[in-house]
Chains A and B, each alone.
Chain A
Amino acid sequence: MLTVENLNVTLRNGDVQKHVLHGVSFSIPVGKIIGIIGESGSGKSVLCTTIMQLFRKQRQVTGEIIYKGQSLLDLPEKAMSKLRGDEMALIMQNPMAMFNPIVTIEQHFVETIQAHRKATKKQARDQAREQLKRFQLFDEAVLKKYPHELSGGMLQRIMIAIAASLNPSLLLADEPTTALDTTTQLEILKELRKLHGATGMSMLVVSHDLGVIANLAEEIIVMRHGVIVERGTANHILQHPIHPYSQTLVAARDEHCTLDELTDHFDGVITGELMLYDENHWVRMETRV
């Protein structure tokens, strides 16, 4: 459904240029959940916003992003904004910052729905109520509330509901649970799993928390400094990570290690090519002569 090929992204801020993504290639098959795990500076957030073709003016992008046969990089802005929300939705890290504080939740729903469908205000409101029921947010009073009156977890669930209201085929989630505490995190992950189960929509989940990725993704991509380090099924990556960097990440969350046994840094430079190691398991390794 979505194929990214040899993507290189450079950020431009005035005179300063920063090359954040190097030769990133992967694909999201229909109906699968792909997880990207990376620390800060790995370029994972930039990847999400580049797929959505946001911040076009401040970025220099080469490579290909193909969505359902259409190249997104060549698409003019008008056509792209139709795709956004309708076919591809993005939920981001801090739910409190994603809502306009002087607008009610209902308005947020109506605005999104009316942007992509021909609907009167009443119809949009009915659709909003439908969405809430679908996500088991039974309290209709929530529609009349303002964002600051609700907790972070509640807002994130509403954000997922709004994103899903137009039945997109692809959902991008950029650190969906980072700003929430552990009990709420579990609820949000359950929501996302239910959504996936009910609609079969493809998802790309990006996080620095291996626990989140492990609980959601069927395939995992490990990134560091803008480069894909390892890629494969969740099982493979979590149980048999091959690249030393992936091994460090997995070991850091190992329940059975003590503090002294864990490595706390990764010094190696990422070199080499992505090579097929096993069935659907790619690892960046030096080519052996």
Chain B
Amino acid sequence: MITIEQVSKCYTKKTLFKKASIVQAVRNISLTIQEGRCFALVGPSGSGKSTLGKMILGIEKPDTGSIYFHETNIHQAKGEERRFLQHALQVVFQDCHSAVNPRMKVRDIIAEPMRVHQQLTKQQIEKQVGELLEMVGLNREDMHKYPHQFSGGQLQRITIARAICTKPKLIVLDESINSLDVLVQISILKLLKKLQQELNLTYFFITHDLHAVKLFADDVALMHQGEIAECIQVTELANVQHEASKALLAAQLPIDCVHNYLRDVKEHVS
């Protein structure tokens, strides 16, 4: 569905007194995201994953290479094609509090993408927003409230409702569950899975949490310093080859390594 071909991007860091340093955020990446599946992009911070997400959405342009949605080049689309892409590609950000305008009512927040290309009456908007709120597990009456009246998890559900209102094909989840509590993370992942089945969505899941990837994703690409170290199915995660991937796996903290700790302590003491 999404084909990324040989994409690279670098940023120049300009400071007043030093020479400009060039940061190669993304190096020659090629990927294919299959329709109807969840594709995870994992890597430590600074590995370029957010940059790739932004390029898919069209926020940033790649220096070299192209990104295609089916046959359309995302960065060269104009007019009708551009409008179609704006509907088809959506995003859920990491921090739900800064992702919404705190002065807008929830109804207007969710309806914003809908209003771009259509003239809708107040009744039509309220009807659709009500349906969306119920789909994400909130109440219809919540549409008249303001963002500060909601918890983190609820607010993230609102941003998800906003993302699905244009009936998109692909949603980029940019570290969307990072800032939430563990139990809330699980409830959001469950909601996303349900929506995927109901609306036939494809997800591009950017994260550094391999545990969430194992629970939620189908395919995973492990990034390291701007390049794809490995691109495999989640079921094969145990058999990674690349050094960087192994380091990522080792960095995950399972909760049954109490025994390891005690062994470490004993070694130290003796």
Contact = CB atoms under 8 A, between A and B. Distances in A.
Is there a direct interface between A and B, measured as CB atoms under 8 Å apart in the complex?
Answer: yes
Nearest to A180: B45
B253 A39 contact: no
A258 interface: yes
B44 A183 contact: yes
Contacts of A185: 251, 253
A273 interface: no
A211 B255 contact: yes
Interface in B158-205: 181-184, 186-187, 189-190, 193
B185 to A, nearest CB: 8
Interface stretch (B21-29, B105-113, B261-269): B261-269
Secondary structure at the A interface, as helix, strand, loop or mixed, is: helix
Interface residues of A, number: 40
Contact of B183 (A214, A238, A239, A265): A265
Interface stretch (B52-60, B119-127, B209-217): B209-217
Interface in A182-238: 182-186, 189, 193-194, 197-198, 208-212, 214-216, 234-235, 238
Interface in A251-278: 252-255, 258-260, 262-266
B34 interface: no
B254 A255 contact: yes
Given A183-B251, A253-B211, A259-B186, A39 B269 contact: no
Nearest to A254: B255
B257 A214 contact: yes
A259 B190 contact: yes
A264 B211 CA distance: 15
B189 A259 contact: yes
Contact of B257 (A184, A215, A252): A215
B16 interface: no
Given A39-B182, A214-B256, A214-B258, A264 B190 contact: yes
Contacts of A238: 255-256, 258
Contacts of B265: 193, 197
B255 A210 contact: yes
Given A181-B44, A181-B45, A215-B261, A39 B181 contact: yes
Contact of B44 (A182, A189, A255): A182
Contact of B187 (A39, A198, A264): A264
B162 to A, nearest CB: 21
B183 A197 contact: no
B233 to A, nearest CB: 16
Contact of A253 (B208, B255, B258): B255
Interface string B147-158: 000001000000
A250 interface: yes
Given A181-B44, A183-B44, A197-B265, A264 B255 contact: no
A197 B255 contact: no
A186, A189, A194: which has the most chain B beta carbons within 10 Å? A186
B255 A182 contact: no
A239 B210 CA distance: 22
A93 interface: no
A182 B251 contact: yes
A164 interface: no
A182 B268 contact: no
Interface string B237-270: 0000000000110111111111011001100110
A248 interface: yes
A262 B215 CA distance: 10
Contacts of A215: 253, 257-258, 260-261
B258 A235 contact: yes
B152, B208, B254, B269: which has the most chain A beta carbons within 10 Å? B254
A235 B193 CA distance: 33
B40 to A, nearest CB: 14
B192 to A, nearest CB: 10
A185 B250 CA distance: 11
B254 A208 contact: no
B182 A210 contact: yes
A249 interface: yes
A40 interface: yes
Nearest to B247: A183
Contact of B208 (A181, A209, A211, A255): A181
A186 B152 CA distance: 27
B183 A252 contact: yes
B248 A183 contact: yes
Contacts of A189: 253
A245 B142 CA distance: 28
Given A181-B208, A184-B44, A252-B182, 10 more contacts: A183-B44, A209-B253, A214-B256, A239-B256, A248-B183, A249-B182, A259-B190, A262-B190, A263-B186, A264-B190
List the 3 closest A-B pairs by CB distance, nearest first: A211-B253, A264-B187, A197-B268
29 contacts: A39-B182, A40-B181, A181-B44, A181-B208, A182-B210, A182-B253, A183-B251, A189-B253, A193-B265, A208-B181, A210-B255, A211-B253, A211-B255, A212-B253, A214-B256, A214-B257, A215-B257, A216-B261, A234-B258, A235-B258, A248-B183, A250-B255, A252-B186, A253-B182, A254-B255, A259-B189, A262-B186, A264-B184, A265-B183
